[in-house]
């Protein structure tokens, strides 16, 4: 059993702490927010993640997991200290590292003996080495502090599974003692034959950014393909499926839609572009990926405008507010930008989301839109239903009921989850993403009679 302190009880910190406790380690999660710590100590989870409430409760009861506000005491107690505080983007796209270094300084002032300080917060390449230098200077001879990098690869909505059964573990450790301790920390994963890569600090940090940027690139790539499909009469779903059958490409992240969002991809692509420019190696591909993603959300507003012949005075039922299903995370959600665009064009919005609506209500945009109790309530009297997030409960909507409730029978499916032929057979005007009409089909279409 290793004694672990996790600093920060946000998404990454809480999931990391709970999973390490479930591995059998003794874990203390620390945060400056006393009210939040009190709620967590009572088993109350501040965000939605399937299975996390049960995992925290089980380890609280087993006394492997505890929550505290005393960082100094937790530092002296722990063998390994994880830093999982936020690194939000600044105005220029670079990462704000102030919280990382503030926590590091506090750890160094309190530490005695040997400790491994693990940078788990996503931070630009070189951060861990700078942190190591700063900690050693502050600690002096009172403590021996090693700094390591252990990037997280959590997937919101399935974070427990991706922590307990990860695709890989990356450890940036440059002393035998820190490497040994971190290998022991992940020992339960050896039974699963989880690949573990041990490398230097800079390589570990870059693996995280390169991974997220590549996935973001796949999303922006297929969205560009979708836009081309609409112009030339091809179907992006078929194109993506055939592409994904090539094992060199793979099928994941080839789903056309309104663009990527969340806490990682937008922030990490901006940060990578920023520190790459600063390093003298501009990452023009990633910079373009960012631009494509911004443009894709604007295109979704244009789709709605084209389908309705204008947006001024139209009422749009927006289904889905979170950036993906099975999470209440609305950070950088495409729905927020799309709704802003709709509002600017003069539309009215009635929104629904199974868990994300309370968070949107607290934003400025939440004061400008109405909220519905269920998806059918949202579409009642609306000029169009606009599906943004592919929650399972939206997959089983009855098309004939939608047609009856809508003022105009327009269904804008930004995730391509519905069968277009079935929707049209039910009398809906169906609009997907990347579903072009072949020129021959256009030529066969009957001409409208003029009066």
Helix (H) or strand (E) holding 66, with range, is strand 65-68
Helices (H), 193-235: 201-232
Tell me the sheet residues that pair with 145. 115
**Helix, coil or strand: residue 146:** strand
**Considering just the CA atoms, what is the radius of gyration of the chain in Å?**
24
Element (H, E) at 82: strand 80-83
Cα 38 to chain centroid, rounded: 27
Q: Name residue, tokens 């059964």.
A: 165
Distance CA 31, CA 68 (A): 7
| Residue from 5, 19, 229, 264 carrying the catalytic annotation | 264
Nearest to 87 by CA among 48, 136, 121: 121
- By the 10 Å C-beta count (0-12 exposed, 13-18 middle, 19+ buried), 398 is classed as exposed
In this structure, are residues 256 and 263 in contact, taking their beta carbons and an 8 Å threshold? no
- Distance in angstroms (rounded) separating the CA atoms of residues 436 and 432: 9
Closest to 240 in 3D by CA, of 215, 259, 221, 258 = 221
In angstroms, the CA 296 to CA 143 distance is 51
CB-CB neighbours of 187 under 10 Å: 12
Active site residue 19: no
Query: Which residues is 435 bridged to in the sheet?
Result: 235
Q: Which of 371, 370, 378, 369 is nearest to 397 (CA)?
A: 378
Strand 3-7 to 410-413 pairing: unpaired
Name the token pair of 292: 């494509």
Cα gap 88→268, rounded to integer Å: 9
DSSP 282: -
First to last CA, the chain: 83
DSSP H helical ranges for 391-444: 392-395, 399-405, 420-425, 439-444
Is the Cα torsion angle 82, 88, 163, 393 positive or negative in sign?
positive
CA 273 to chain centre: 18
Q: Which residues are catalytic?
A: 264
């Amino acid at each position: 059993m290793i004694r672990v302190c996790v600093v920060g009880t946000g998404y990454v910190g809480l999931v990391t702490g709970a999973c390490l406790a479930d591995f059998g380690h003794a874990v203390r999660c620390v945060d400056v927010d006393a009210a939040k710590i009190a709620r967590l100590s009572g088993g109350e989870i501040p965000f939605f993640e399937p299975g996390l409430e049960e995992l925290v409760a089980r380890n609280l009861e087993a006394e492997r997991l505890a929550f505290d506000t005393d960082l100094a005491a937790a530092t002296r107690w722990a063998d390994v200290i994880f830093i999982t505080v936020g690194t939000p983007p600044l105005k220029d796209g670079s990462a704000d590292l102030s919280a990382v270094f503030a926590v590091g300084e506090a750890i160094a002032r309190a530490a005695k003996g040997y400790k491994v300080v693990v940078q788990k917060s996503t931070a630009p390449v070189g951060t861990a080495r700078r942190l190591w230098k700063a900690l050693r200077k502050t600690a002096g001879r009172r403590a021996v502090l090693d700094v390591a990098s252990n990037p997280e690869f959590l997937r919101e909505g399935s974070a427990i599974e991706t922590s307990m059964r990860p695709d890989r573990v990356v450890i940036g450790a440059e002393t035998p003692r820190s490497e040994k301790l971190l290998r022991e920390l992940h020992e339960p994963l050896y039974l699963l034959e989880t690949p573990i890569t041990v490398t230097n600090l800079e390589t570990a940090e870059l693996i995280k950014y390169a991974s997220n940027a590549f996935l973001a690139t796949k999303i922006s790539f297929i969205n560009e393909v979708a836009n081309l499909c609409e112009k030339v009469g091809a179907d992006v779903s078929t194109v993506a499926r055939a592409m994904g059958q090539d094992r060199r490409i793979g099928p994941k992240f080839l789903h056309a839609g309104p663009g990527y969002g969340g806490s990682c991809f937008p922030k990490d692509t901006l940060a990578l572009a920023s520190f790459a420019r600063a390093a003298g190696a501009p990452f023009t591909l990633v910079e373009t990926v960012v631009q494509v993603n911004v443009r894709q959300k604007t295109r979704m507003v244009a789709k709605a405008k084209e389908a309705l012949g204008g947006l001024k005075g139209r009422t749009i039922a927006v289904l889905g507010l979170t950036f993906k299903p099975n999470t209440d995370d609305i950070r950088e959600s495409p729905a927020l930008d799309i709704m802003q665009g709709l509002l600017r064009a003069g539309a009215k919005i009635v929104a629904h989301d199974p868990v994300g609506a309370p968070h949107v209500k607290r934003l400025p945009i939440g004061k400008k839109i109405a909220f519905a109790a269920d998806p059918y309530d949202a579409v009642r009297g609306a000029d169009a239903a606009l599906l943004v997030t592919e929650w399972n409960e939206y997959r089983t909507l009855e098309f004939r009921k939608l047609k009856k409730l809508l003022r105009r029978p327009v269904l804008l499916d930004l995730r391509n989850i519905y069968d277009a032929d079935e929707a049209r057979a039910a009398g809906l005007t169906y609009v997907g993403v990347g579903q072009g009409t072949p020129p021959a089909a256009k030529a066969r279409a009957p001409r409208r009679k003029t009066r």
